[in-house]
Structure 1
Amino acid sequence: MKNNLFILFSFILISSLVYTQQIQQTNLYEFNKLKLNPAFAGENNCSKINIGHLGQWSRFNGAPQISYVNGSFEVGKNMSLGGKITLDRLGTLTMLNAQGLYSYKLNFGKLHNLSLGLGIGINQNSFDFSGSTIQHVSDPSLNEERVRGSTFYSEFGLVYTIKNFQLSFSIPNIIESTSKLSPTISGLYINKRHMLGYIAYRFGELNKLSLTPSILYKSIWYNNGAIGQHQIEGNLLLNIKNLVQLGFGYRHETAFLGRLGLNINNKIQLGYAYEFATTDLAKVSSGSHEIIFGIKLCNKKELPRINIISKNTTDTVYVENPSSIDTMYINDVSIDTIMLEKVIKQVKLEYTIYYAQSQYTFDVEKEKEGLSEIIEYLKENREKSIYIKGYASEEGSDYLNFKLSGKRAKRVYSYLLSQGVNRNQMISIVQGEVAKHHGADLKGSRTENRRVTVILKE
């Protein structure tokens, strides 16, 4: 049976300035952050593609139906490209958005990352009255079966990340645009400027157990700087061994949200979200359902991360097949010791300083020439970095040897710093007796275990 559209409803939708759900709703943005911000293109150096569908207000005739596909890929060391296509149907109104994406990443030291994103495309908005019966309408434009118009679309975004903290800010429709849907229609369709803010912090490790609380804020941003209609929601996402995700959220005065995700081999992402309305919509609908299917291919092998924490710097080392991690405290400084089979590295130069038993100072004049090549290389190549690995022989207790090897590494670190090497280029690793250079059966082997090795990576 054809829908009955009364004059007031039609007049509001077409003959005046139209403000609709221009920023499409999504409940699975934790699995598909490209929906929030173009700066997420190429996140974690990976190529991604996502396909999803959101059916809002089940059993409610003419309720929003949103289908989307988006993806991104790296094109350079810090640049990524991508695209988004979204089809949003609401009763007689259909909104199609297609855009290209660009992002550029800036790294500040080892921990701070800032991504800038830009999206440019088109919006096509159309009304289809072919299946509707219009009653009591004097506007001749409503006698047309289909009216449509296209507008320019632009979006800008920033994403700041430091360790487990993430802050996203984006402005969809940053340049407002208008379109005339039909020569006979007196009004215009305006794409209003919006604002999206997202903040999250992850507690715990992804490959074990982590909990991520987050807040999402959306609003209309008027030309005079005033904030119009706005919406805020809070979420909790539990990640179990980077395999299963369970989420719960609340959208202020609107709905409760539930999420379920499955990550297969860190390549395939499946997700489902259910939204239960807390408004009168709950009386006429059975909630909203969203599903997503995603594929992720990473250019670099994703390895476990171990934080190396010293008094002057905090860095991340990628390791392969770690057998155990033990945290010790020396002078109230937490240092993660590493017991591993192999540290991933590409060695260009390597220099070793040897020590007498129980000593941690070294003869600067004697070692100056050997270290100078590394110092000059680091000054000329600020993007490069080194490991400073301190060792000790097996005489004495494990604790004293660990402390001694730490002092040896710290002394070399301080010397290189005084010679103009940037602290962000140096990663101190305290080994103690963990990784012996040779067996300790002979006195000569013990001497070779008392050392600091400086390894330059490419």
Structure 2
Amino acid sequence: MKKYILILAVLISFECYAQQKPQYTQYIFNQYLLNPALSGIENYIDFKAGYRQQWSGINEAPQTSFVSAHWALGDNQLWSNALTDFPEQSGNPMDRNYMQNYMSSPAHHGMGITAVLDKTGPLSRLDANLTYAYHIQLSNSFNLSAGVAAGLSRISLDVNALTFDQPNDPAVSSAFVNQLKPDLSVGLWLYGARVFAGLSVQQILPQKLSFTNDNTYNLGKEVPHFFATAGYKFFLDEDIAAIPSIMVKYVQPSPISIDLNMKVAFKDRIWLGGSYRKDDSFSAMAGFNIGKMVNLTYSYDFTTSDLNQVSNGSHEIVLGLLLNNIYKVPSYIRMW
């Protein structure tokens, strides 16, 4: 009798396919999703909302929706330095004058919130976290921040989407449909006018995952996700800048994943980008800023793994808002 086969398959997917957190292409423009140390890195409210369709063309493939927002704490948020103090007439906080006169921001606190809904077949996962970071001033040129994210994960199984040999199979009535688990992440972020580097760990609390009372099938577990990233900005001419970056990800027992990224921006108002994820995909990205408040980005992943025979690639779109943007910054200063 096969009464547990599909539930077992779900459990095995947690154990063997180790990446349990969603995958993003545009994390280079919202590193906050992967590293809580970016909380309050700017003195405006950075809000983003996005949607990702993974492996389009495959039924029940992963779909991810998210919202995030973070901001600096305290009445001293409008600090008077190069973080926001640039020539108003230039309209471009990332021009050469800004770089030459850059000063690191004073020590400050930041906080934020994230909510991520990820759905794959009969499984769905909702992560809701509150984040906090403290930014110290290492020198006139560099800051270092440390952050933590804490919250809850709700993991749900839609038993109505499962098919059993017996319509009234006991597996349905005994299945754990919803589970709540604590969630904790930590991170570090080093940043200056042109360079950034970060380390973070998500899902660091060990948790068992089970959808049945039968100990034979209690094999599922959550595993930590490790991220290391770095990048540098240089100018091709007065109006065009290029930002190469790299991210290394490790989730046991999967092989180490390496992303190579490049963004080319024109006055930080219009930009094009590309990314290569080893043994997985090539990605093309584009975006633009609308006035001083809104930006919109889109990416498409060309699958290079064996899934390219059945997948039409992956789509991702992100809307960003710069709220309480008193200095009228036209683009993200620190979001490379």
Same fold (TM over 0.5): yes
Higher relative contact order (CA 8 A, sep 6+): 2
Q: Secondary structure at the match of 2:37?
A: helix
Alpha carbons of 1:65 and 1:202: their partners in 2 closer, same or farther (altered >3 Å)?
same
Cα pair 1:129 1:144 within 8 Å, conserved: no
Whether 1:235 aligns to 2:255 is: no
Tell me what 1:163 maps to.
193
Aligned to 1:93: 123
- Paired position in structure 2 for 1:192: 223
Match of 1:10, as an amino acid?
Answer: I
Q: Residue type matched to 1:30 in 2?
A: I
Which residue pairs with 2:52 in the alignment? 54
Match 1:249 to one of 264, 267, 275: 275
Q: Distance in 1 between matches of 2:3 and 2:289?
A: 48
How many residues are aligned here?
A: 295
The structure 2 residue matched to 1:177, chosen from 201, 204, 207, is: 207
From the superposition, tell whether residues 19 and 42 of structure 1 become closer, same or farther in structure 2 (CA, over 3 Å).
Answer: farther
2 CA distance for matches of 1:132 and 1:274?
31
State the partner residue of 2:35: 37
Q: CA 1:97/1:151 → structure 2, altered by over 3 Å: closer, same or farther? A: same
In structure 2, C-alpha distance between the alignment counterparts of 1:166 and 1:278, rounded to whole Å: 29
Structure 1 pair 215/146, CA: closer, same or farther in 2 (3 Å)? same
Report the counterpart of residue 291 of structure 1 in structure 2.
317
Backbone CA RMSD of aligned residues: 2.8
Q: Distance in 2 between matches of 1:56 and 1:167?
A: 27
Would you say the 8 A contact 1:7–1:135 is kept in 2? no
Does residue 202 (structure 1) correspond to residue 230 (structure 2)? The answer is no
> 1:148, 1:207 → 2: CA distance?
55
SS in 2 for 1:13: helix
Match of 1:268 among 267, 285, 294: 294
Q: Is the 8 A contact 1:167 1:198 kept in 2?
A: yes
Q: Indicate how the Cα distance of structure 1 residues 115 and 205 shifts in structure 2: closer, same or farther if over 3 A, else same.
A: farther
SS at match of 2:125: strand
Q: Could you list the per-position Cα deviations for residues 278-320 of structure 1 after superposition, in whole angstroms to 9, with x for gaps in the alignment?
A: 122111121110001110135662679xxxxxxxxxxxxxxxx
Question: 1:71: Cα distance to partner?
Answer: 0.6
Specify whether residues 172 and 214 from structure 1 end up closer, same or farther in structure 2 by C-alpha distance, changes over 3 A only. same
Shift of 1:46: 2.2
| CA displacement at 1:274 relative to structure 2 | 0.1
Find the residue that maps to 1:49 and give its secondary structure.
Answer: strand
Larger strand fraction of residues: 1
Report the alpha carbon displacement of residue 37 of structure 1 after superposing the two structures with TM: 0.6
Q: For 1:285, what is the secondary structure of its paired residue?
A: coil
The alignment partner of 1:87 has SS state of: strand
SS in 2 for 1:29: helix
CA distance in 2, matches of 1:88, 1:236: 27
Superposition map of 1:253-402 within 5 A: 253-297=279-323, 301=327
In the other structure, the counterpart of 1:214 is 245
Question: Residues 17 and 29 (structure 1 numbering): CA distance in 2 closer, same or farther, change over 3 Å?
Answer: closer
1 CA distance for matches of 2:286 and 2:3?
Answer: 41
Deviation at 1:32, TM superposition (A): 1.6
CA distance in 2, matches of 1:15, 1:118: 30
Deviations 1:216-245 (A, max 9, x none): 111125xxxxx7532111011011111111
1:33-72 deviation digits (Å, cap 9, x = unpaired): 2112111112232211111000011111010000111111
* C-alpha spacing 1:136/1:14, structure 2 compared with 1 (3 Å): farther
Equivalent pairs: percent with the same residue?
29
Cα deviation digits, residues 185-230 of structure 1 (max 9, x gap): 6516422111011111011289821100011111125xxxxx7532
Question: Match of 1:32, as an amino acid?
Answer: N
Decide whether the 8 Å contact of 1:16 with 1:188 is kept in 2: no
- Between the aligned partners of 1:16 and 1:280, the Cα distance in structure 2 is 18
Whole-angstrom CA distance in 1 between matches of 2:237 and 2:54: 31
Secondary structure of 2:255's counterpart equals strand
Contact 2:293 2:325 in 1 (8 A): no
Take 1:91 and 1:128, find their aligned partners in 2: how far apart are those partners? Answer: 9
In structure 2, what is the Cα distance between the partners aligned to 1:150 and 1:52?
Answer: 24
CA distance in 1, matches of 2:273, 2:210: 42
Take 1:189 and 1:128, find their aligned partners in 2: how far apart are those partners?
17
Deviation at 1:263, TM superposition (A): 1.4
Deviations 1:248-297 (A, max 9, x none): 11100110001011112342110100001012211112111000111013
Structure 1 stretches lacking a partner, 5+ long: 222-226, 305-458
Of structures 1 and 2, the larger Rg is shown by 1
| TM superposition score normalised by structure 2 | 0.79
Residue aligning to 1:74:
72
Distance 1:7 1:284, change over 3 A: farther
Deviation at 1:145, TM superposition (A): 7.0
8 Å contact kept, 2:176–2:210: no
* Letter in structure 2 aligned against 1:83: I
Q: Distance in 2 between matches of 1:265 and 1:207?
A: 21
CA shift in 2, pair 1:201/1:151, >3 Å: same
8 A contact 1:112–1:162 mirrored in 2: yes
Q: What secondary structure does 1:18 align onto? A: helix
Pair 1:166–1:144, CA change in 2 (3 A): same
CA gap of 1:16–1:44, structure 2 versus 1, over 3 A, is closer
Q: Secondary structure at the match of 1:301?
A: coil
- Tell me the distance in 2 between the aligned counterparts of 1:16 and 1:172: 19
TM-score (norm. length: structure 1): 0.59
> Structure 2: which 5+ runs fail to align?
77-107, 331-336
